[in-house]
Structure 1
């Protein structure tokens, strides 16, 4: 009698457990995405949410970096990417949740502009093409810099503190020779 009762209780527990597992799977699968299947040679974007950079704020960082080429599929959720020298400190094998496929544009003759490089753990320094302007911001001297490879593109020019710009001192002298009234290294910081 007791044995039969225990077996029926065990049977009920198994049924309830299976029911709970089915319900949990049903609700979990509602928001689950099927992971994309990339093939070697495909181009992908890398989400920048976990990258360490020298930028002062993550808000100004590009949301997607790259594009990068897929070299091989490691597992259903990991891919090995071909990373440039700039990204040598970054792991080449990445989880699929950090990758997005590069979509082909149906606009004829549209080319993806190269993104300006992000300094990842100070691995690379970009060359200054021209110094366009200078200003004092909260007592700190800053320069509007045009980068080599992005000339004549005002959206790619950026303000940088003078302390972070150590290369090309002649370009800074040229700016102050042409515009002596612009703030410079000898300007008092009041």
Structure 2
């Protein structure tokens, strides 16, 4: 019922809209009763997935973000989210991410920061425990 309706004419602060014939109502509305049509889809609406890019005869997809990494049978693998595609639970070998070095660097920098923060917290806990142990002596 609500939709983007084209504007036919503007009369002062009122807009004359082209409404479908089944809507039997006055087709002139004040600007306060209108809002700009959204370009974002509603929850539950799915955008069609974009086809892969052809590079040297091989299909390639654009990486939106590296989500996680792991070692699987001695090989480094990444879990990624792909631009304009539904979430993908699969793990992919690291050699397939050669075309996205900036995404890998961003992920590694974030991982280094998390590891550093964890190490700092662990070191702080160790210092606190050592300090309290000294007081007992």
TM-score by length of 1: 0.30
| TM-score normalised by the chain length of structure 2 | 0.40
